[in-house]
Structure 1
Amino acid sequence: MLMVLRSLARSGVPGMREWTVANVLAIAALLLFAGRGRIADVLSIDIANLLFLCAPALMHAGFQRHLDRPAPYGALAVLVAASTAALGVFHYVVDAMAVRVALSSLFHGIVCVAMAWGLRPWAQPGRARYPIRFAFGAALTLAAAHAVRALMYASHHDAQVTLFDASPVNLVCFALGTLALPGLTLGAVMMANAGLIGQARYAAEHDHLTGAWSRRAFFGRAERAHADAVRAGRTLSVLIFDVDHFKSINDTHGHAVGDRVLADLVARTAAVLRGDGCARLGGEEFAVLLPDSDADTAVCLADELRRTLERAAVAGPGGVAVRYTVSVGVGSLADGESLANLLQRADAALYAAKRGGRNRIADARLVDGERCKYATSGS
């Protein structure tokens, strides 16, 4: 697990540092525990316990950071310090091995419960479900195992036991204890990989400047929407639009202002259409899919979008308000029509709107050569 974490060291995933240090501490603690009777007790008992207490605390902190929450370092430090002090009392004041095991298990159980609570799947919307469920299940299982071990040793606190007591229950609990960090780390790595895959998928499917869907993502979504519409006999419409005189905006106010215009357009389009936004087909050209929308509904939505954008403005040099408009082509799926033909008709309607004077919409149903029905800025 440590080597797997090392391979992700430069990924920038939140929590990776804490998970890595936790595994290093656990390895060191287990080696010190194994040296019991051959090295000094302060190393094989006190330092080993301290390191083994810090390991799950850091795992919990790493999970919290990974889930974009503040890591409770203060509370965990107090809990580790209190547990270390209690273990010291039952080593140097009253040498009671069973009590030390019970206290150590109690601490680990508390941390695992906190970990499981932070990882509860129903409180993680938008994240990959299986990695979260795996890590949650691992933390919950470990919490239960530590609870059993704490109760078992607490009920026999006067008995003379050893850390490597050969009873079946102790061996099971000890095995779970040594597998705790690898199990939790496996869940952490799965969560990290899911996050990295999600970031890569988002980057591939979205335009980095505006956050709009990419051209490739748009055509993939359009093909699925077209197949669904044909199979179920539903309606499907598409809007294709671009910014009027966009080159002039860039030449007059600079490319930074042009970029702000495109980002503003995408944000306002998502708000008007109350969907997941639009796709950037290239340059200043955009498209929006409208499943379950007939031609008349699509025309109304296109005009609402056009009106909204003609009232929009972005800040230019010196605080000057830079306004922009769009021309929109509207196409709706006809019986037996292919997706390519639908997009071609919508694109032809867009160019008809531009020929008609811009800041207009054109309905592909009514485009016939130069003849077109327009909705002007004053309509």
Structure 2
Amino acid sequence: MEFRDLKAQYNKYKNEIDSAIQEVLNNTNFIGGKEVDTLEKGLAEYVGVKHCITCANGTEAMTLLMMAWDIKVGDAVFVPDFTFFSTGEIVSFRGATPIFVDVDRDTFNIDTVKLERAINKVLKESKLNPKVIIPVDLFGLPADHIEIERIAKKYKLKVLEDAAQGFGGSINGKKACSFGDAATTSFFPAKPLGCYGDGGAIFTNDDALADLLNSYKVHGKGENKYDNVRIGVNSRLDTIQAAILNVKLTAFINHELDDVNRVYRFYTERLKGIVETPFIPNSYVSSFAQYTIKLKSREERDALQTKLKENGIPSMIYYVKPMHKQDAFRALEYDDSDFEVTNKLCDTVLSLPIHPYIREIDVEKVCNSIVKILNR
């Protein structure tokens, strides 16, 4: 059993993917080919925004926005404590200070009450300038963007939606990657929409921002790549990856999002009352980058993971360490008691195999094993 079975997906679309790759090889347009333009238009249309700017990976997508917004030393950027390292890393990379905020226990996403409290604390201390909120759509579920946008407007902050795991999710039909001033996603292979290497994208309705990002990602180009009007970076999506993603985007729209939500319902029906299953608020849709359950303690979680492995069932822990405890952020001062929820989640969460191609018999095996192991 695979945790996320990329082989099954490839086997289903082997002819289309092989053909798309071969066309790039035949045309030898390995950088900036027509496949990239097609992908950017398709992604923008699906999400419902004016501009999609592809780049080398999801981390650089966020970094490019930090550059475009001139985030620097002395600025404060608000980031959830329970998420992958890169969301805080890109803040420190620019010399700014990440302000970690505890998360909501049910959704795993940034707690908006604690967010506003953190903003006011920074304002009161007057040592940093609050500039940006980076809500993360964790495990595929959009953050509470309605409330986050209200808070951002109140304090005149920008919002960068980190939808690395959230592509395909929605709130009241409004798609992930369309919230905030700009949004980013990742095409890492295991993501809801993944390529066969690294890749990322930025989404925005801001024409001027899109132009600036397109310059920054190609060495600060002006009229062409040999006319350099600013200091930029080299962050382009390879044409072969774009060709693969064009095939996968069609599959994602046609059936994969529906299929992974069918698996979610299957899991939840069978595990109800056995473990704490994912909570999806009304009017929200998750793309289920992960299906994450909660156990009662670290001991119970670790024992369950060990027994599942013995039964040939893979599982993962996202995340074993909070952001505020990462060694890379050791120079920052935090009160551990401010992160009660995140600390508890790191001890009790476990993600189970989920993807659009998992067989019902495999889900049954996972569920039956959990029931037997926990004796509930």
TM-score range, shorter chain: under 0.3
How high is the TM-score relative to the length of structure 1?
0.21
How high is the TM-score relative to the length of structure 2?
0.22
Q: Which has the higher helix share?
A: 1
Larger radius of gyration: 1
